[in-house]
Structure 1
Amino acid sequence: MRMAIIGFAAGAALLQTQAALPEASTIGLAAVAVLALPLALAAWRRRGGQGGWSATMRGAAALTLAARLAAMLAGCAAGFLWAAWLAHCALAPQLASADEGRDFTLVGTIDNLPYRFDRGVRFNFAVERVVGGVQGQVPPHVALSWYAGFRDQVTEVGDVQPGERWQLTVRLQRPHGNANPYCFDYEVWLLEQGLRATGYVRPDAGNRRLDGFVFSIGNVVEHARAVLRGRILAALPDRPYAGVIVALVVGDQRGIDQSDWAVFNRTGIGHLISISGLHITMVAGLFALAAFKLWRWSFFTRAQLPLLLPAQKVAALVGMAVALLYVLLAGFGVPAQRTLYMLTVVAAALWLNRITSVSHVLCTALGVVVLIDPWAVLWPGFWLSFGAVAVILYATVGRTTLRPARGRHGPAPAAAAQAPSRREQLWQALRLGAHTQYAVTFGLVPLSMLLFAQISVVSPLANAVAIPLISLVVTPLALVGSMLPAPLAGPVLGLAHWLVAALAACLQWFSGLRYAVWSAPTPPFWLFCWAMFGTIWLLAPRGWPVRWLGLATWIPLLAAQPSHPAPGRMTVTGFDVGQGMALLIETGRHRLLYDTGPAYAPDSNAGNRVILPYLKARGIAALDGMIVSHSDADHSGGALTLLDGIRIGWVLSSLWPNHPIALAARQHVHCAAGQGWSWDGVRFEMLHPLPSSYADTALKPNARGCTLKITAGGKSMLLAADIEAAQEAALLERDRGRLQADVLLAPHHGSGTSSTPAFLLAVQPSVAVFQVGYRNRYHHPKQEVYERYGVQGIRRLRTDESGAVTIDFSNGAGQGIGIASYRTEHRRYWNGR
């Protein structure tokens, strides 16, 4: 059974790597074959037993091995088909392409815990009907944003609460997210949540609340979460770590600042800043212990309840019920689900008077999680949650038991051995905790490198402080405080907040240490498997030969260096940042970032959402230089985040000296025509603006955009920022001979005010890259401009369609240019649906 469940999870994971789903008819036929496989296996085993072949030990072992392999293969096929069928069902509700950008008036209910931010509120909406339209045009669940300001107009945002019924006028689009290597996949997250369209609420007089609350189990749970969150925020107004308290009580982590998350992740305690399995087990255990004691004590009253039902069964039932309630409050995350299912299996075994092993419990929880949510295998939390428990079981079960008490001259008598002293019990508990932390810390090193390209060196020390404080003190205080009446809630929650603030100060010190984190490029899968083999060897039982050799398998994992192009070659990565520009230029030993993408929200930008995750996954710890072409937010939005998050040698820009980016740079220089330098056989030339342009304060930022030409191996690329027709004409007049380039970054995203025919004829590109946002409000690239490129036979690449674009300039004029788009190279079945 365990092998079948492991195969089931592997099959579901395999489905998530497919570029297309199998047809529904194929799934049905394959399902019949999978169901027939166990029957054929059983018949084969009976035939083997009758023939006498399985009577020998060798034959029995072979049959057992074959049966386990067959069970795993059958489970893998079943998991693949099950995940494919659920994917078909999830993709079926679809907004038609023709309905994108169309206004709908919808009636439905607020389907989750809304998230309020400076500019409005975001929430999920369960559609009940379309007013004035045909039912079925809109998917049943959509994700909406309601902005306080709309196109420079101030609008009123409704006070939406979970379970309320509203009528809203909305504009929708199909699911779409930025597609970049090593970055969060928003499209599959929407698919997992059952959200098949996104959009925003339009200003309309008809937007109104219809009913105060619509009863359903889900609405009751979300309403309870909203009430608890509201009580916490009311008791802790404007407190910096109120979001952490909210996360510990209801699992909503959206109120935690990105800067705090950076500290938590660097110190390796991010798993504690939520309703984790440890917290659920602790709370369920406390309630189970209380139920056990009260039920047993009733024996000394007239009730004598243990005669009706054993206290152990009552305790198991109470613990499971409390765990279920807490998991519902947590938003049903994977770690919480895993804990709930494991506790449920243990409780069921106790009620059925069955003995079950920990491996059966863990595998059952794994099977249930994947059965309910096959997309869970795509998220780091799934692998870390089950991986941590598997490592603990492997390293502790059967090895860490209380040793018998010893006298001064040898083992103590049997009676004393059965009752170790409190001091010995405490010492043994400390040893078990230390061994468990050692096993988790070392056991998860390969997985952490695969998922995050880094490990926290200070994690053991930080967790030694944070685990007891958060689990045993802060979480109980937060839970009790959130349920107390207002006069009493304030002091209790204030104490919990003070403890979190003190912990955060300690963690900031840990995070600031020079070697707090070890980073290296994300390893290939084969290297991860090799390091995992060494880790299993390292954590083997005492007596296993030369266990320390397992550490040797980590050397290529931890000592890897980021890749570079060969000398004379150049690689350019054009990120998919939405409506904005950001390109990474790499030569043999240097790296330059051209523009930093847009700002999405006050604490969210292309720097922390796209560029930094990519650099970290590649193991890139520093950039030699950064160019910020001009001050527009879609080009400079991520600059401050990057300057704070990674070492950057110098900044070249057209910004004024008192601009925050110029002030934050280690070295800032104005870009100007005539500047140039060479890196590793690659030539960089600045063509625009003229130095004299900085004296003209009337010029728009676009007119002063840093225009850069890069040449490698006889091939070149022109990065034209947001220059417009006037600047293109000026370039033609003074530098026509230097404009020719094989690849052109379309000026101003392909706007109608740039890419003039004369400019394109002078550049003569074979490839043009348009960095644009999906269905952007500016309608870039303009249709007539886009067709202009096509008429001249220029290959056109749009990042909203192709995702990130990688351009490889070969070492030699005759070897051409290699181009790869992320959505083509890493296509998944949920893309473009």
Structure 2
Amino acid sequence: MLVLLVSSAGCLGGGGQSPVDDDTDPSSDSNTTAPSEDLEGTLEIHPINVGQADATLIIAPSGETMLIDSGDWPNDGRTVIDYLNAQDIDRIDHLVTTHGHADHIGGHAAIIEHYETKRNGIGAVWDSGVTHDSAAYDRYLTAVEEHNVTLYATQEGDEIPFESEQAQATVLNPPADSKKPDDIDYNSVVVRVEFGESSALFTGDAGTNVEERLLETHAEALDVDLYQAGHHGSSTSSMPAFLDAMSPQATIISSAYDSQYDHPHEEPLAAFAEREIPTYWTATHGTMIFESDGEAWTVATQADATTDPTALREDSEVEADPTDPPTEYEPLTVLIVDEFSDHHMRSSVSSSAAVATGVIA
């Protein structure tokens, strides 16, 4: 399977992309996006409600798309494909495989098949290069091979290129000289996306050992606005020092309401609460859209639920179909988030999946 991975990619360690110089920090002046007054368009981040799994759509200001993970194998990509169709996404420019576990790549094969045969294709796949012995991973690599999709084995320092220089996606993990080359979680692909002054971090199932390494090697790049909580909000991730380095304005958790692993765990929720970080959970907020003009973020959710980490479980499970785009509904209210509060936004709207929007300044 490793031979298949490398041969499908055609190359290793950035897949032919020009990696960032080792001494270049992605947050340095030489590597920042254009000044905010020159920015055009918006950056969109869509955490899709895929239950006890992960799938996030990113739409760059240029219109290019990135899909980070694709949900669990029993669903076989149906939820993600339906959502992408609802958003009229005709092409996936970058498909990022954070790691090979089935709850992250379960929909890869179906999505590759769908986009290569019925839409305008997959631009490239970005993978850590660490294989996994599972049927889901085997189907994924088979789809890559059958459709001749470019597959890059990526590592820290690589940039996933957007056509527009106004947005950037930089890989911070896996390390180039991994001390645990066979550890699938340790080598999770960690991606920092930025547009103007706005930024977000996606860590897959990276644990505290990865977070410690990132603090040592990429500390300045960790200063971000949005953080998708590692390992579905598990206590194996989101250690206090890592959160302090990020100081995120909001955290996103992707896990099931009745998670068999009891995600999210109390330890990270307590850490979020201590730092007054508003927390959005796919199980209660549903599918979401975070949008930035390069300065401030707005957020639309399918359901009106608390963002207080200590009260997340007090709200009911979201009833909305996860493929219903939040933007199909009229905003109920606008909230300026200038300090930590309950952030409840209530309405008597009778639609099956009302939308709540807020502004994260």
The residue number in structure 2 matching 1:218 is none
Q: For 1:616, what is the secondary structure of its paired residue?
A: helix
Question: Shift in Å at residue 831 of structure 1?
Answer: 7.2
Correspondence for 2:67 among 593, 596, 606 = 593
Question: Shift in Å at residue 808 of structure 1?
Answer: 0.2
Contact kept, 8 Å, 1:568 with 1:682, in 2: the verdict is no
The residue number in structure 2 matching 1:790 is 273
- Structure 1 segment 399-548 matched on structure 2, within 5 A: none
Percent identity, aligned pairs only, is 25
Contact kept, 8 Å, 1:569 with 1:682, in 2: the verdict is no
- Structure 1 segment 135-146 matched on structure 2, within 5 A: none
- Classify 1:686/1:828 alpha carbon distance in 2 versus 1 (closer, same or farther; 3 Å): farther
Question: Shift in Å at residue 622 of structure 1?
Answer: 1.4
1:581 aligns with 2:54: yes
The residue number in structure 2 matching 1:628 is 97
- Structure 1 segment 123-142 matched on structure 2, within 5 A: none
The residue number in structure 1 matching 2:40 is 567
- Classify 1:797/1:648 alpha carbon distance in 2 versus 1 (closer, same or farther; 3 Å): same
Question: Shift in Å at residue 651 of structure 1?
Answer: 0.4
Contact kept, 8 Å, 2:302 with 2:353, in 1: the verdict is no
> Which AA in structure 2 matches 1:653?
D
1:652 aligns with 2:126: yes
Rounded Cα–Cα distance in structure 2 between residues aligned with 1:777 and 1:829: 30
1:822 aligns with 2:302: yes
1:752 aligns with 2:235: yes
1:710 aligns with 2:190: no
Any idea what the Cα deviations from partners look like across 1:89-143, whole Å, max 9, x if unmatched?
Answer: xxxxxxxxxxxxxxxxxxxxxxxxxxxxxxxxxxxxxxxxxxxxxxxxxxxxxxx
> Which consecutive residues of structure 1, in runs of 5 or more, have no partner in the other structure?
1-565
Rounded Cα–Cα distance in structure 2 between residues aligned with 1:726 and 1:569: 34
Question: Shift in Å at residue 649 of structure 1?
Answer: 1.2
Correspondence for 2:172 among 661, 680, 687 = 687
Contact kept, 8 Å, 2:167 with 2:194, in 1: the verdict is yes
The residue number in structure 1 matching 2:143 is 664
> Which AA in structure 1 matches 2:223?
Q
The residue number in structure 2 matching 1:803 is 286
Q: For 1:758, what is the secondary structure of its paired residue?
A: helix
> Which AA in structure 2 matches 1:573?
H
Contact kept, 8 Å, 1:631 with 1:655, in 2: the verdict is no
Question: Shift in Å at residue 617 of structure 1?
Answer: 2.5
Q: For 1:684, what is the secondary structure of its paired residue?
A: strand
Rounded Cα–Cα distance in structure 2 between residues aligned with 1:638 and 1:568: 29
Rounded Cα–Cα distance in structure 1 between residues aligned with 2:182 and 2:48: 32
Larger Rg, first or second structure (1 or 2): 1
Q: For 2:186, what is the secondary structure of its paired residue?
A: helix
Q: For 2:89, what is the secondary structure of its paired residue?
A: coil
TM-score normalised according to structure 2 size: 0.67
Rounded Cα–Cα distance in structure 2 between residues aligned with 1:668 and 1:828: 46
Any idea what the Cα deviations from partners look like across 1:223-261, whole Å, max 9, x if unmatched?
Answer: xxxxxxxxxxxxxxxxxxxxxxxxxxxxxxxxxxxxxxx
- Structure 1 segment 202-281 matched on structure 2, within 5 A: none
The residue number in structure 1 matching 2:264 is 781
Question: Shift in Å at residue 758 of structure 1?
Answer: 0.2
Runs of 4+ displaced beyond 6 Å: 829-832
Any idea what the Cα deviations from partners look like across 1:669-709, whole Å, max 9, x if unmatched?
Answer: 1120000134421011000011222x74442x111110000
Q: For 1:673, what is the secondary structure of its paired residue?
A: coil
> Which structure has more RCO (C-alpha within 8 Å, separation ≥ 6)?
2
Q: Which structure shows the higher helix fraction?
A: 1
Correspondence for 1:767 among 250, 256, 273 = 250
Contact kept, 8 Å, 2:130 with 2:187, in 1: the verdict is no
> Which consecutive residues of structure 2, in runs of 5 or more, have no partner in the other structure?
1-38, 116-120, 305-325, 330-348, 355-361
Contact kept, 8 Å, 2:129 with 2:154, in 1: the verdict is no
Contact kept, 8 Å, 1:713 with 1:809, in 2: the verdict is no
Question: Shift in Å at residue 656 of structure 1?
Answer: 4.3
Contact kept, 8 Å, 1:591 with 1:623, in 2: the verdict is yes
Rounded Cα–Cα distance in structure 2 between residues aligned with 1:675 and 1:698: 20
Any idea what the Cα deviations from partners look like across 1:311-368, whole Å, max 9, x if unmatched?
Answer: xxxxxxxxxxxxxxxxxxxxxxxxxxxxxxxxxxxxxxxxxxxxxxxxxxxxxxxxxx
Q: For 2:303, what is the secondary structure of its paired residue?
A: helix
The residue number in structure 1 matching 2:8 is none
Rounded Cα–Cα distance in structure 2 between residues aligned with 1:672 and 1:698: 14
1:731 aligns with 2:204: no
> Which AA in structure 2 matches 1:776?
S
- Classify 1:657/1:758 alpha carbon distance in 2 versus 1 (closer, same or farther; 3 Å): closer
Rounded Cα–Cα distance in structure 1 between residues aligned with 2:67 and 2:88: 16
Rounded Cα–Cα distance in structure 1 between residues aligned with 2:231 and 2:131: 24
Question: In the comparison of the two structures, how many residue pairs are matched?
Answer: 257
> Which AA in structure 2 matches 1:685?
T
The residue number in structure 1 matching 2:202 is 719
Rounded Cα–Cα distance in structure 2 between residues aligned with 1:698 and 1:668: 19
Q: For 2:270, what is the secondary structure of its paired residue?
A: helix
- Classify 1:712/1:777 alpha carbon distance in 2 versus 1 (closer, same or farther; 3 Å): same
The residue number in structure 1 matching 2:109 is 640
TM-score normalised according to structure 1 size: 0.30
- Structure 1 segment 183-198 matched on structure 2, within 5 A: none
Contact kept, 8 Å, 1:568 with 1:713, in 2: the verdict is no
Rounded Cα–Cα distance in structure 1 between residues aligned with 2:97 and 2:303: 27
Rounded Cα–Cα distance in structure 2 between residues aligned with 1:778 and 1:580: 12
- Classify 1:590/1:830 alpha carbon distance in 2 versus 1 (closer, same or farther; 3 Å): closer
Correspondence for 2:226 among 713, 733, 743 = 743
